[in-house]
Amino acid sequence: MISHPMPEFGSFCLLLALILTAYNLAVGGLALWGGSPSGLRITRRPEAVWNRLGETARRAGIASFVALCGAAFALVYAAFTNDFSVEYIRAHSNIALNPAYKFAALWSGQEGSLLLWAFLLSAYGLVLRMRHRVDVRLTAFASVIMAGIQVFFLLLLTVGAPPFSIAPGPVAADGAGLNPLLQYPEMVMHPPLLYLGYVGFSVPFAFALGALMMRYPGEKWIHITRRWTMVTWLFLTIGIFMGAHWAYSVLGWGGYWGWDPVENASLMPWLTGTAFLHSVMMQEKRGMMKNWNVWLIFSTFMLTILGTLLTRSGAVSSVHAFAQSNIGAWFYIFITIVFAVCLFTFFFQRDHLKSENKLESLVSRESSFLFNNMILLAACFTVLWGTLFPVLSEYVQGSKVTVGAPFYNRVNIPIGLFLLFLTGIGPLLAWRSTSLRSIRRNFILPSIAMAVTFAGLVISGLRPWNDGDDMQSTFFSLIAFTLAAGVITAITEEFLRGANVVRTQTGKNLLASIVLLIRRNTRRYGGYIIHFGIVVMFIGIAGGAFNQAREMEMSAGSTIDIGPYHLISTGMTQDSKPEYDTSYLVLNVYRGGKYVTTLSPEKRVYFAGTDHEQPSTIVALHSTAQSDLYTVFEGTNPDSGLPIIKAFLNPLIAWIWIGVVIVVIGTFIALAPNLVRTAVRQRQEDQVPVGASPLGVPGVLAKVPHA
């Protein structure tokens, strides 16, 4: 009998992790029940016994992380040592594969990505269990709930989709290789980041469910989970946009978002997670929206599972076909159990979720949060509806339909513009109630900025009524640019107003005052920076209305003119690499008669380790803040033998990626702790007359009603 030590070690680790996690779930749950007022009284000191038992469960949870590290190591080791006796490695790697992509083999297929999910979940669980002193009992509840989720994934890995299955027959000399589309640097980062986002929502979910189960008094659980939620949201944001950038750079169709069901699956929890991050502030500050928040985080977690279900089950058609399999039934059962647990817990504990305050005015920060939530959920529903409509159509009409980009663009763009509008006005409204004077003062500059931008754009030629075929997209762009100008002005005004007060108090210059302002209230001003990043992204997206494309056969010396660019072909070159053959065209790019750059769009045909040739496109692009010149070598005309080049001019695309960077910076700022004022300065500031400071000292409302 042939021995496979490393795969066997991996399988053993998975089994061990399952046993440890099941212990965490069962014994941890028992300890929580036993330690509750209605629990068993088995000794004179029941609390000490249950606490000790709970501690063993916590340690089992920590140990499960070690076991999963072993399993992940075994799979990566198998990839690096070309152990093609493991079916998963045979199917997703080959000898000549670049080592970075061999590491990426961990998440390039079904079983490996499920192992990554379980590993990340155990890593989050490790941090949660190590930090249990923050609130021992609440953490114990969250730990048990996390263990419940973990048990599902480990069962799946040991029974439904084992990653260490041995390939039947003799060991293959080489593997089938990694999908060429995935052999791109961003693909080493995109899936783990996305998974960090997906999996991370388990933590606020576990805390919310735990807090509800134990009828946790107060809103401390929100403080505990705030950073978890923000970090998770950040990972998901980066993961989504890294995927969009990968699609833009690799797939070669000139766009970055195709509304594929798998893309939609990542967008839906992002939308509800964003709604949760906003509405949870109402609970934190005013004890409102408790029912809503609980269901928002429940929905966000369930949507991450639904996304995985859609990705894996093949219920809906997707270009991400590499991820489809027959483990959908597992996810259907799991999501049903999760929903049932959430529903029952909510039903039995709903009296614990009574609001402490009620909304007092239509024109208030609370109202704007409500509408923000409504818009985000409407967008989420639209995406979910469009994703599931083919299934519904098949059920009702007997035939599937395609729900593609035209549907999503038409329905979601107006919703997105409404959201952009709220991004601008929300922070300008005060909590509780906003006065007319405050509205006048806060809205006048943004309104002027919008009017000037609108007029300026129309005068400079952005006139939808003249654009014939492109009237609708030009109209939406005009509105988006106009709203963006208003929001940016509002945010700038907020910074300047606060900085001026700091400058008056401290005598520092404007820049130093802005820095101090941000450091004193990182959450508020980090939030503004995130909003600014979102607006910059909207500007980039709105630029899509002015995309241009040209396609032609190019012999040496032939030219294409697109926008301000003049492209001259110097001919086609071919090369051969260990993994692929490549053909590329060399294009010299000129602008206004001056040489700008050389672009080499490529067409590769991968053959190493594969049973059949796999073509792949390598886009060549020249990116500036104004526009991207994006060229694709589409292949050669079989009749003429000439290469065919498609050139796109995509205005403002870079703004999307810049916007993401700003969002990331803003999130880091929002996560940073506030600058702690010294006792002396605190006293000095407290002596400032009532209403003079916007920085959290008394009188804040009187002067800065939008605080």
Two tokens at 340?
């049932």
Q: Which is nearer to another protein, 239 or 526 (CB)?
A: 526
Q: Per CB under 8 A, which region of 80-88, 233-241, 384-392, 444-452 contacts another protein?
A: 384-392
Q: Compute φ and ψ for 435, nearest 5 degrees.
A: -85, 160
Interface segment toward another protein; rule CB under 8 A; list 58-66, 341-349, 400-408, 496-504:
400-408
Question: Binders of another protein among 281-300, rule CB under 8 A?
Answer: 281, 285-286
361 binds another protein (CB under 8 A): yes
The angle that helices 220-246 and 653-671 make with each other, rounded to 10 degrees, is 160
The tokens of 524 are what?
């508020």
Residue from 291, 349, 367, 570 in contact with another protein (CB under 8 A): 367
Q: Kindly write out the interface string for residues 574-613 of this chain, putting x where it contacts another protein by CB under 8 A and - elsewhere.
A: ----------------------------------------
Q: Cβ 258 to another protein, closest distance in Å?
A: 7
Residues numbered 519-548 forming contacts with another protein, rule: CB under 8 A: 521, 523-524, 527
Lookup: tokens for 277: 């991050």
Least separation in angstroms between CB 172 and another protein:
28
DSSP category for residue 605: E
Q: Toward another protein, which CB reaches closer, 347 or 465?
A: 465
3-class secondary-structure state, position 2: coil
SS3 for 403?
coil
SS3 96: coil
Question: Given candidates 19, 96, 188, 359, which one binds another protein under the rule CB under 8 A?
Answer: 359
Residue 634: closest CA among 620, 613, 650, 649: 620
Among 39, 70, 328, 698, binds another protein (CB under 8 A): 698
How many CB atoms lie under 10 A from the CB of residue 206?
28
471 touches another protein (CB under 8 A)? yes
Residues 317-336 interacting with another protein (rule: CB under 8 A) = 317, 319
Smallest Cα–Cα separation from 233: which of 210, 266, 281? 266
Contact window for another protein (CB under 8 A) among 114-122, 160-168, 468-476, 572-580: 468-476
3-state class (DSSP) for residue 534: helix
3-state secondary structure of 240: helix
Q: Name the residue type at position 32.
A: L
Stretch that binds another protein, among 383-391, 496-504, 573-581, 587-595 (CB under 8 A): 383-391
Q: How far apart are CA 324 and CA 317, in angstroms?
A: 10
Question: Quick count: other Cβ atoms within 10 Å of Cβ 95?
Answer: 15
Q: What's the token pair of residue 358?
A: 């009620």
Instruction: Quickly tell me which residue has 């991450």 as its tokens.
Output: 304
Q: How far is the CB of 314 from another protein (least distance, A)?
A: 14
Question: Which parts of 609-648 interact with another protein (CB under 8 A)?
Answer: 632, 634-638, 644, 646
Nearer to another protein, 235 or 259 (CB): 259
Is 445 among the residues that bind another protein (CB under 8 A)? no
Under the binding rule (CB under 8 A), the answer on residue 181 touching another protein is no
Supply 266's token pair: 């990542």
Residues numbered 47-86 forming contacts with another protein, rule: CB under 8 A: none
Answer for the pair 503, 513: CB distance below 8 angstroms, yes or no: yes
Give the x/- contact pattern for another protein in 401-440, rule: CB under 8 A.
xxxxxxx--xx--xx-----------x--xxxxxxxxx--
Which of 9, 12, 77, 253 forms a contact with another protein (CB under 8 A)? 253
Shortest distance, CB of residue 468 to another protein, whole angstroms?
6
One of 33, 348, 385, 595 touching another protein (CB under 8 A)? 385
Give 382: exposed, middle or buried? Use CB within 10 Å, 0-12, 13-18, 19+. middle
**Which residue lies nearer to another protein by CB, 114 or 247?**
247
Of 132, 142, 77, give the one whose Cα is nearest residue 103. Answer: 77
Would you count residue 469 as binding another protein (CB under 8 A)?
Answer: yes
State the nearest-atom distance from the C-beta of 360 to another protein, in Å: 5
Which residue(s) pair with 568 in the sheet? 559, 588
Going across the sheet that includes 643-651, the strands are 548-553, 643-651, 627-636, 620-623
Q: Give the total of residues touching another protein (CB under 8 A).
A: 83
Among 260, 346, 457, 588, binds another protein (CB under 8 A): 260
